[in-house]
Structure 1
């Protein structure tokens, strides 16, 4: 990225992009480092089933967030009224109302969800975890204003501080309670810490309740497709836990969840960067195609390199970091990391649609990915267990890519050279890594 930095330093927008990207990398790297450290401590205090239960709790809370997302963040990022106090306060009021509704719905789902997954503890843990949804609804729109203007420094520090507070509480409670309750309460404390810190230390006017009809209309018009997109994104991002939680034991689901954290690190890093910087880039520099192409190549190159390193080192890394109960996770890391290559190649294009206010095509991509992923996950895990499920994920991403290309071509964002080079290099290396770890991958068929 060094050469790219020199080439982009001249433009004010691109300079802000690079600064923001640096902060995102620091923030995401710090966040994942904290998560890894907490995982290493917590896996020695708790049991694999605890992480399986927590995956199911997260399935509901994250699912509700996605099923109710009305696109407030991208609306503020792309709207001409994104700095208007009336617009921001109306958006915040909708967000608060949403948090109250989510808390109520989560509490109502606790008993049926516990019965469906045959895990009675969920009836107790879900209402507690849902408190975090209620708290998050009161987060100030100053967070989204910082994203809109690519001013990430202070926000990154506050996010990491909130996460650290939550992790410390989680570890202390795990030592004291020896229960999944420690993980649930830690999540609530993290949400509360972020709320307090962002209200206290982010610059800007405090939000107040406001309901301006014009702002509501704009938010709803843009957000209706975001709502549908994120509802389908639930199946794409959480569908693996939903399906595997029904077909596999809590122990195997817990091992998968730990492995996914390692395997998806690079892909989620790339998603964090593209999701925050590409909308302003497409919005304000859409004619600077050469610079955008170099930025895209740079992001994809870094993310794919990290993904392939994780695929190659997965079994060794899990063996070093975790105790023997999690040994099967090493092969899962390898297979998952390779399966995510197609998603990484196309991850920057959908932001072009959002930057242009085209949330409808963004929805089509999300819906396609979700339908493919759930279909191939169910077929794969039914026929071939864990291996079949992960291969299903890879096939879903491959079949989604032509839909992403359709979106990108519509907004003059598709870079065929980028896709071909990345697919050829990363695909070849990924296949070689799978062949190298083939025996460990085949052994995954024993998981149930």
Structure 2
């Protein structure tokens, strides 16, 4: 008589399963919880600090972060992605080489913040930037020393501990920022909060992440593999920087610091779904695409289709909620200085609907090692985005810039399809369903909030 074993419970399969589906599900949940917790802490910080500081402080610091992100992207050779994607991603020689390159990069980036501080301050006619940039630049130096086992955890979809450590560090940084803002009322509260968060992350990763300690080392073959893959990643991240930060680069020149601060409050809320989706896609889908390429079998395609519908559907619901209720939320949470941020929130949420529809395609190319097609898509997005911003802001101010972004994202869709088809990941049914829903929801959001949207004319050119 054969012995039968009871089928493990759903919870046990989720919490202890070693197969790809269980690991992907756990990693997705941890990423969502981690990002949700991170955004909650950001929101809490935002609500407190907007009462202790003034809009100009947020506008000024948004320019600082544009250049921090820019320096990171303009020097990215794909170290983190290489650890996730490369077949040697668990080799100690490969990991030590990657970590050594990362440390050198961090040192160089911090040096660049010192060199660029005064020219940037002069360009934006904001003298305080000359002091702020080098101090915030310490976050780049610190991040260079983050151990390689952090990326190894991402590679193997083991994100629970990393998530908790990140949230703990962010909570510490929040306390630092609020205390300094309460005592001084100065923009330096935002600066030291960021530096404290990075410093505590470094300590936590080294103390609490399992695995081998990172060491200085250099293996020529490992460096060559990183450089070969990273050459396209380098250009892609430059394009990604222009795409993600182009609004602040352009609007920072055309709007006053007060108006830019208002814009960033609205953008902070509206960007939550897309940033969450980007985090899940980057941390989860590269390993999934690597282990189950959609072009390999119909079963792989269907499994990814289910994941794609679930992810897009969740993000879509969040975007629609923000687009429909954004004005009310800003009225409830902020004082009269920030009331125009409601119109910004609604418009940015509408703009991001086309981006969410194609979000799950990008990583299929990176997982297969086809960084060239990924770059072409990233460069096309950046070019169309900047064109839409520049044309729109000169025709109709901030409102025109936001409309220009929406048009740009629609025009980029054929390129996203071209890349997805090359990997066997294009899903026309998914795209058609969410495009139709997007049109309906964008129309409803505009109808409900047309007065707040037209009020954005008050944030036109200074």
Question: What TM bracket, shorter-length normalisation?
Answer: over 0.9
Residue 153 of structure 1 is matched in structure 2 by 160
Residue 205 of structure 1 is matched in structure 2 by 212
Matched residue SS, 1:349: helix
CA contact (8 A) 1:274 1:351 kept: yes
User: Residue 165 of structure 1 is aligned with which of 172, 177, 196?
Assistant: 172
Q: Distance in 1 between matches of 2:286 and 2:440?
A: 31
Residue 129 of structure 1 is matched in structure 2 by 136
- Indicate whether 1:193 and 2:200 are aligned: yes
Matched residue SS, 1:428: helix
| 1:131-280 → structure 2 map (5 Å cutoff) | 131-280=138-287
CA contact (8 A) 1:229 1:367 kept: yes
Q: Distance in 2 between matches of 1:165 and 1:325?
A: 28
Q: Distance in 2 between matches of 1:396 and 1:278?
A: 25
CA contact (8 A) 1:341 1:427 kept: no
Residue 7 of structure 2 is matched in structure 1 by none
Considering only CA atoms, is the larger Rg found in Structure 1 or Structure 2? 2
**Structure 1 residue 127: Cα displacement:** 0.7
Q: Deviations over 1:349-373 (max 9, x none)?
A: 0100000001111110110011111
**Structure 1 residue 11: Cα displacement:** 8.1
Q: Distance in 1 between matches of 2:164 and 2:178?
A: 21
| 1:48-447 → structure 2 map (5 Å cutoff) | 48-286=55-293, 287=297, 288-447=300-459
Q: Distance in 1 between matches of 2:320 and 2:262?
A: 21
Q: Distance in 2 between matches of 1:402 and 1:128?
A: 42
Give the paired residue count.
443
Matched residue SS, 2:73: helix
**Structure 1 residue 402: Cα displacement:** 1.1
Bigger shift: 412-421 or 174-183? Answer: 174-183
CA contact (8 A) 1:353 1:411 kept: yes
RMSD over equivalenced CA pairs, Å:
1.2
Q: Distance in 2 between matches of 1:214 and 1:396?
A: 41
Q: Distance in 1 between matches of 2:410 and 2:283?
A: 24
Bigger shift: 285-294 or 27-36? Answer: 285-294
**Structure 1 residue 399: Cα displacement:** 1.5
**Structure 1 residue 126: Cα displacement:** 0.5
Structure 2 runs not aligned, ≥5 long? 1-9
**Structure 1 residue 176: Cα displacement:** 1.2
CA contact (8 A) 1:232 1:367 kept: yes
Q: Distance in 2 between matches of 1:99 and 1:355?
A: 26
Matched residue SS, 2:288: helix
Q: Deviations over 1:255-290 (max 9, x none)?
A: 111111100111111111111111111111223111
Residue 17 of structure 1 is matched in structure 2 by 24
Q: Distance in 2 between matches of 1:369 and 1:269?
A: 19
Q: Deviations over 1:147-168 (max 9, x none)?
A: 0000010000000001111111
The structure-2 alpha-carbon separation of the partners of 1:103 and 1:11, relative to structure 1 and needing over 3 Å to count, comes to closer
Q: Distance in 2 between matches of 1:112 and 1:28?
A: 35
Q: Distance in 1 between matches of 2:49 and 2:18?
A: 45
CA contact (8 A) 1:263 1:307 kept: yes
Q: Distance in 1 between matches of 2:328 and 2:340?
A: 11
Q: Distance in 2 between matches of 1:215 and 1:265?
A: 36
Q: Distance in 1 between matches of 2:71 and 2:439?
A: 35
Q: Distance in 2 between matches of 1:367 and 1:399?
A: 13
Q: Distance in 2 between matches of 1:417 and 1:124?
A: 52
TM-score (norm 2): 0.94
Structure 1 runs not aligned, ≥5 long? none
Q: Deviations over 1:41-83 (max 9, x none)?
A: 0000000000000100101111101111111111111111000
Q: Distance in 2 between matches of 1:227 and 1:427?
A: 35
Q: Distance in 2 between matches of 1:427 and 1:30?
A: 30
Matched residue SS, 2:108: helix
The structure-2 alpha-carbon separation of the partners of 1:249 and 1:17, relative to structure 1 and needing over 3 Å to count, comes to same
Bigger shift: 225-234 or 431-440? Answer: 431-440
Matched residue SS, 1:41: helix
Matched residue SS, 1:86: helix
Q: Deviations over 1:123-172 (max 9, x none)?
A: 01111111111111000111110000000100000000011111110111
List structure 1 segments (4+ residues) > 6 angstroms apart after TM superposition. 8-11
